[in-house]
Amino acid sequence: MSIDINNESGTEVDEQAILDIARFALDRMRIHPLSELSLIVVDAEAMEALHIQWMDEPGPTDVMSFPMDELRPGKEDEELPQGLLGDIVLCPEVATAQGKANGHSMDAELQLLTVHGVLHVLGYDHEDPDEEREMFGLQKRILDDWRAERGETGPSPAPTTR
């Protein structure tokens, strides 16, 4: 799996953990190992510009996803297509505030947001209650399983993104 991370934010983040959780989520979703994903970490000003440009909403947001080849999760008995998954943009300034409000670190919030972004590039959404239950349930399972593999204990951060 080719996953690139580019930190343009000026904030130190745990890039290895972000890469690891992204890879774990993509493996869990059965995405072809030769597929590509780009992760970009930006400051609040750059995130606000993207938020206005693409969502017509003011202010910075926590995560934005830009799917490319519309790859979807693979099934057990099918050959997996490969391609460009797209870009996930993360904002540590927003993640810091959200993490603090929910009793966890910026890095834990960025890990949650990375999984959230991966699910969005794979076609998941949370516009209606059924979609939200499915997406946030899957997000929690992926985070819990990843943390368990790393020997971390305690609950995963609650979903904070809408």
User: What residue numbers does the annotated binding site for Zn(2+) cover?
Assistant: 116, 120, 126
Distance (Å, rounded) from C-alpha 107 to C-alpha 114? 10
Residues making up the binding site: 116, 120, 126
Do the beta carbons of residue 62 and residue 90 sit within 8 Å? yes
Contacts of 87 (CB under 8 A, 6+ apart): 37, 38, 39, 40, 65, 66, 68
Q: Identify whether the C-beta of residue 39 lies closer than 8 Å to the C-beta of residue 21.
A: no
Radius of gyration for the chain, computed over Cα atoms and rounded to the nearest angstrom: 15
Contact between 44 and 9 under an 8 Å Cβ cutoff? The reply is: no
